[in-house]
Structure 1
Amino acid sequence: MTSGQLVFLEQSSNPSSPAQMSEGLILGVRNAFMYGFVRACISFILVMFVKRTQAHKE
């Protein structure tokens, strides 16, 4: 189980219910994609500050 799913099921009234388990799974997958999106945005911002190297012509 993902951490988002575990947190959701801890707060659920009936964590063994299939409906609650699928809702928790959806929440966990959504959290995983959100973390990935944030990481991609941070990486994109950092890439803007990297300078390209120039090879010396001989």
Structure 2
Amino acid sequence: MSEPARRRWEYATIPLLIHNTKAILDSWGTDGWELVTVLPGPSGSEQPVAYLKRPLS
């Protein structure tokens, strides 16, 4: 029995604007990106960073 093929991913990190978070994530989601997590950015919690992934074609 053969081993199943491994899925390969590509990743992106994007800054989120607090006043426009939903629109930003919806836009990336339309392009096939899946949100993995959101963490505070280097300048603190006023500039969160989203980490996304999607399967490579």
* More relative contact order, 1 or 2 (CA 8 Å, 6+ apart): 2
TM-score by length of 1: 0.25
Structure 2 length as normaliser, TM-score? 0.25
Bigger Cα Rg? 1
Q: Of Structure 1 and Structure 2, which has the larger fraction of its residues in helix? A: 1
Higher strand share: 2
